[in-house]
Structure 1
Amino acid sequence: MTKIFMGVGVSFSLMMTSVSADDLKNSLTDMLKTKETSGMVDLGNINLDAKPKQPKTRSSKAVIATVNGHKIIKKEADSYLDQRTQGKVTNFDHLPPEQRSRLIQELALPMMVLDAAQKELSEEEKQAVYTRAWMQKEARKINVTDEQALTVYNQLKQQAEENNTTQNIPPFESIKDKLKIQIIEKTLVDKLIKDAKIEVL
C-alpha cells in the first residue's frame, strides 16, 4: 500500500508534464495534422495535380501498408490526406508512389513511437505512464474556479500572517494556476482515499 501511494505522489508531480503511451500517440497524431510539420516527413511539396498514369481506386477497407505488423487501412490514409491537403486531395490512390510513401511514413510515426515505448519501457515505467494517464484524465473532469483558488490563497495568507511570514507570499495572480493544480491534486487524493478499501494487518 505504501508503494502504491508513493507512486501516486510521484505521478502528481509529473501530471502536467508527461503523457501516457496512448496520449503520446494521440498528441503526435494531432501534431502531424497541423500545417507546420517541421522535423517530420515533408509533404509541403506535394503536387496536388499529380496522378499516376492509370489511377486505380481501392476499397476504403483495403490494407494499403503495414508498419511493424500494424495494418493501415485506406480509409485512414484518405482521411489523413484530406486533412493534410485541406480537402484538395482525398484519395490516397491518386498520389504518385513517392508521395504515398511520404504520407505512410507520417501516418505510421505514432505507431512506431508507441512500439518503441512498449519495448523499451520497464514495467515500473509503464505503471507510471498509466498512472499519469489516469491522473490527467480525471483532472480534466475537475473545474476549479478563480474564487476557489482565491479562497485557498487567503487561507495560506492568513496562516503566513499568523506565523509572521507574509513577506514570502507572492501575489495571487502569479500563483493562481499552481493553486488550481494543488486543488485538483487534493480532490483526486481525497477521492482515491474515500473509495479505497484499506486493511491494516
Structure 2
Amino acid sequence: MKAPKDKLFGLLLREEGFVEDRDKTPAALKLRRSREMIARHLGQVGKSGNLDLIVATEKAILQNDLDRYANSAAMKTSLTTALTELATTERHIEIVNDPAAYRLIDESHSLPKNRKGGLPRDEARQFFASHAARLLNQDKSRLDPEEKRIIDLRKQNMRIAEKLYAVRQSKTLGIDPERAKRRGKSGTFGLEI
C-alpha cells in the first residue's frame, strides 16, 4: 500500500494530466478566446477615462457572476455585498457632481482617518479600495491565466476609477488635486493620505 503522501501526489499528477487534456479541447480553446476578448474590452474601458463606464462595467460583471456562477453561500454573499456597495458608489458619483450636497459629505469626513489625499474617504472611495482587495483575494485562487488577466484588469480599473473619482471630488470642492495631496502629506490641516 502506498503512503498517503505518495497516493496524494499520484492523484494530483493525474489531475494535472486531465487538466492539460481538457485545455486542448475545442471548447476550451473557444473559452480562452472569449476570455481574451473580455480582457481586451476591459482594457479599453479602463483607458476610456470614463468613471461611469468603468463602474457600470464592473456592475455588469458582478451581476453576471451572481446570476450564473455563484455556487456557494460565501460567493453569493460576497457578490451581493459588492453589488450593494457599488450601488452606494453610484449614488456618491451623482452626489459628487453637486457642490452643495457634497460639501455635507466633506464636512462629515473631517477626521484624519476619514481622509485620503486631503479628500473625503467616503463610501465610494471605500468601495474602490475594498473591491480591489476582494479581487486580489480571487487572484490568489486556482484560476486559468485568462481569468487571472481579467481580474488584473478589473483591479486596475478600480484604481483608475478611484483616481477619476478623486478628481471629481477635488473639482466639486474647489480644491486643486496637487494642493489636496500636499495638504494631506503635510498634516497642516490634520489630514492624511
Q: TM > 0.5 between the two?
A: no
What interval of TM-score do these two structures reach, taking the shorter chain for normalisation? under 0.3
| Structure-2-length-normalised TM-score | 0.27
Highest CA radius of gyration, 1 or 2?
Answer: 1
| Structure-1-length-normalised TM-score | 0.26
Instruction: Pick the structure with more helix per residue.
Output: 2
